[in-house]
Amino acid sequence: MNLESSLDVLKGVGEKTRLTFAKAGIENLSDLLGHYPRAYERFEKPVAIRALAEGEVAAVEAQLTAPLATRHVRGLSISTAMCSDGSDLLALTWFNMPYLRNTIRAGVPYVFRGRVKLKGQRLLIEQPAVFQIEQYAGMTEKLRPVYSLVKGLTSQAVQKAVRQVVAAKSLLREYLPLEIRKAYQLAEYNFAVAQIHFPEDEHALTLARRRLVFDEFFFFILQLRFLKSKREVAQNRFHIRPSQAACQLIQQLPYELTNAQKKVWETIGRELRGEAVMARLIQGDVGSGKTIVAILALVTVAESGYQGALMVPTEVLARQHYASLTELMKQNGFPYEAVLLTGSMTARQKREVYEKIASGEASIIVGTHALIQQKVEYRNLALVITDEQHRFGVRQREMLAQKGSAPHTIVMSATPIPRTLAVILYGDLDISVINEMPANRLPIRNCVVDTGFRKKAYEFIQKEVDAGHQAYVICPMVEESEAAEETENVIAYTEKLRTALSPGVSIEYLHGKMKPSEKNEIMERFLNNEIQVLVSTTVVEVGVNVPNATVMMIENSERFGLAQLHQLRGRVGRGDAQSYCIFMHTLDGKQIRQRLDILCKSNDGFEIANRDMQLRGPGDLFGVRQSGMLDFSLADIYSDADVLGQANEAVGELLKRDPELTLPEHADLKAHYELLVRQQSDHLNL
């Protein structure tokens, strides 16, 4: 048994259970250990109803004064009751849980736990968890892991499987050299893995998380350094001429490029013709015009007889880029053929595209990670562009680059990252910034409100829809939270919104656990205005360009980092109509309002990113990782910026002494690094 072993080596994991785990992306023991809790709950002792305060999560020991009453509103089941602790009354409400009427009896004491709200003059808990008295007593004052789950997978099943692996300590070999652990005061690996899943207390959890965050940053940076060392020896073998087609395209655009766009394009054009292979990051806010710069680069290499590839994170976005490129080629009379390659295409469609790519007939290739699959063979790939880099790991863009013979690389990102962090996170790339917005863009109007504003917000959305526009509503969670915080659930929220808006408004939901085909269909319908209001998790953060969407409403906005809120806000304001963003917070407090007010005062993503880094603390232990920007499992580049700096320093010192990791004392470290790279490659080739 080793970390690459299938889960069925564990007791209690048969074929059916193994397949259920696989749906959650857990294929082997390493995946299982890396499936960290998304939050932790602490179960405090019950308090008297009169001691409850609005906004807090609390438990009360009480009994229903009468049986549950259930009513149905447009398909939404709403169950209500009053409970008493002998002195005071508390209102309880459940959505879509009609079966509780048969399980909770009036006159029997239970513990009800949830977030307290004030509705009128009465205290209320919506969607409270219900416990037997003895059951709750055994849970008090302990930290309980809460995992992200899929249908059929329970938190108990995950815990049972993880405990077996943690118990087999021979599997968890310490790989970091002792001098690194001592220099940065890092916990031992076995301790960290055990405590991140089953923490003894908050101190142990803090130590465990810091060690594992360090590891994530350390191996990410190690990959970057090895990638950079390969590139530094690569010479530009492509003979790319100054592009007449690019000049024509610029002249034919219905707008003038900003000075920032012109400057970045001049740099790229010069480097395409230079002696060394280009490796450049283009950073710019959503809507700043990065895509047209990428198109100019693709047209330039096509004109010189080479191929260029553009890899984007979603199929809908790939199709939108492909349609735009095809239209531009047609309008300008360019002879270069563009093709689209995505995972959902049929085998026959893919085969036809493969042939065009291999023969060189296709000059511009647009697609998702399907571009890096083993069957794709390029004839003369000179330029690789990856859009929204934080959705692609280092290994993914390295694999695309390996499809050619040391091609030029452009990475585009709308993620606002302070330069101090960008230098580390994109250590293998030179950095260009597009820091101007097109002149025709109207600034987004913002407001920060509490839940008392929700009715007015719905009326405003209705007004914008009636005017022919569309709206996004963002919720943090997909399913009912098992954690202490109350967060809006996209599925239940969609039903609630359908009752609030007029029947003629088409409202649908979107979340990351849906099948790619389902997500594509929803986004296509939203793009075509067949859906007017889209209720979504942050999966729309990297979405399509929907110029007709004018309202972005973000529920539980206090749960997100400022940089991510700014990224989400960038989904609107992409047309010529005035757009609006409503930041709604469930928790109240001076600090929360001050933090969110920063977004009202600025639309500058880089200024906001710097403020985000300054404001973030070490993270909330009960939500192990905040809603971050880059796809690390635990690490957050803002709240963990100090650990990122330490990991960068540690990698630098290590590679000074042992550039290829060939020393015997680094054998375990190298083996672990190779395991991670192998797992990434296996995952990408699935």
**3 state SS for 34-102:** CCCCCEEEEECCCCCHHHCCCCCEEEEEEEECCCCEEEEECCEEEEEEEEECCCCEEEEEEECCHHHHH
Residue 89 lies in a domain: yes
Contact by Cβ (8 Å): 501, 461: yes
End-to-end, the C-alpha distance of the chain in Å comes to: 23
Last residue in a domain, options 86, 101, 132: 132
Per-position b or e across 80-114, b if 16+ CB within 10 A of its CB: ebebebeeeebbbbbbbbeeebeebeeeeebbbbb
Query: Do 346 and 489 share a domain, yes or no?
Result: no
Q: What is the mean pLDDT of the chain?
A: 88
Asked if residue 30 is part of any domain, the answer here is no
- As for how many domains the chain has, the answer is 3
Contact 630, 638 (CB under 8 A): no
pLDDT at 136: 94
Residues in the chain: 686
* Predicted pLDDT at 620: 47
> Mean of the pLDDT values across residues 93-101?
92
Task: Give the HSE-up count for residue 223: Cα atoms under 13 Å, Cβ half-sphere.
Answer: 22
| Residue 241 in this model has a pLDDT that exceeds 50 | yes
* Helix 244-252 with 315-332: angle, nearest 10 deg: 100
Domain boundary pick from 568, 602, 636: 602
Q: Which residue has the higher pLDDT, 400 or 623?
A: 400
The pLDDT value given to residue 360: 95
Task: Provide the whole-model pTM.
Answer: 0.77
324-338, 379-393, 415-429, 518-532: least confident range: 379-393
Q: Let me know whether 288 and 380 are in one domain.
A: yes
Task: Please give the residue range of the domain that contains residue 58.
Answer: 44-132
Distance CA 78, CA 453 (A): 22
Q: Is residue 241 part of a domain?
A: yes
Based on the fold, state whether residues 469 and 589 are members of the same structural domain: yes
**Bigger pLDDT: 517 or 18?**
18
Residue 602: per-residue pLDDT: 87
In a domain, 8, yes or no: no
Is residue 457 very low, low, confident or very high in pLDDT (cuts 50, 70, 90)? very high
- Tell me whether residue 356 is in a domain: yes
Residue 34 lies in a domain: no
pLDDT band at 517 (very low <50, low <70, confident <90, very high): confident
Task: Give the burial class of 503: count Cβ atoms within 10 A of its Cβ; 0-12 exposed, 13-18 middle, 19 or more buried.
Answer: exposed
Three-state helix/strand/coil letters over 92-130: EEEECCHHHHHCCCCCCCEEEEEEEEEECCEEEEECCEE
Which letter does DSSP use for residue 629 in this model?
S
Burial of 10 (0-12, 13-18, 19+ CB in 10 A): buried
Q: Give the confidence band of 479 by pLDDT, cuts at 50, 70, 90.
A: very low
* Domain assignment present for 27: no
Q: Using CA atoms, how far apart are residues 338 and 325, in angstroms rounded to an integer?
A: 7
Last-in-domain residue among 132, 163, 182: 132
One domain for residues 344 and 461: no
Q: What is the pLDDT of residue 478?
A: 45
pLDDT at 387: 86
Please report which confidence band the pLDDT of residue 470 belongs to, taking 50, 70 and 90 as the band edges.
Answer: very high
Residue 514 or 350, more confident: 350
The pLDDT value recorded for residue 233 is 67
> How many Cα atoms sit within 13 Å of 136 on the Cβ side?
20
Cβ(454)–Cβ(465) under 8 Å?
Answer: no
**Is 208 part of a structural domain of the chain?**
no
Average pLDDT over residues 197-213: 95
Q: For residues 248-263, b (16+ Cβ closer than 10 Å) or e, as one string?
A: ebbeeeeeebbebbeb
Q: What is the pLDDT of residues 620-670, one digit of tens each?
A: 444 444 444 456 889 888 889 999 999 999 999 999 999 999 999 999 999
Q: 298 and 381: one domain? A: yes
pLDDT in tens, 567-607: 889 889 888 899 999 999 987 777 788 889 999 888 888 88
pLDDT tens, position by position, 257-298: 999 999 999 999 999 999 989 999 999 887 888 999 999 999
- My answer on whether 453 and 420 are in the same domain is no
Are 549 and 430 contained in the same domain? Answer: no
Whether 261 and 399 share a structural domain: yes
Beta bridge partners of 341: 367
| pLDDT for residue 399 is more than 80 | no
pLDDT value at residue 69: 94
Note whether 388 and 488 are same-domain residues.
no
Most confident region among 318-322, 368-372, 389-393 by mean pLDDT:
318-322
Q: Name beta bridge partners: 430.
A: 280
Confidence of residue 480 (pLDDT cuts 50, 70, 90): very low
Same domain, 324 and 458: no
Q: What is the CATH number of the domain that holds 70?
A: 2.40.50.140
User: Do 329 and 364 lie in a common domain?
Assistant: yes
Side by side, the strands of the sheet bearing 279-284 are 337-341, 362-367, 307-311, 381-387, 408-413, 279-284, 430-434
pLDDT at 483: 36
Per the structure block, which two tokens stand in for 121?
A: 């003059």
Q: Are residues 404 and 454 in the same domain?
A: no
Q: What integer is the mean pLDDT of 368-389? A: 87
One-letter amino acid identity for 678?
Answer: R
For the record, the structure tokens of 631 come out as 């796809």
CATH number at residue 372: 3.40.50.300
Task: Report, as an integer, the average pLDDT of 534-562.
Answer: 85
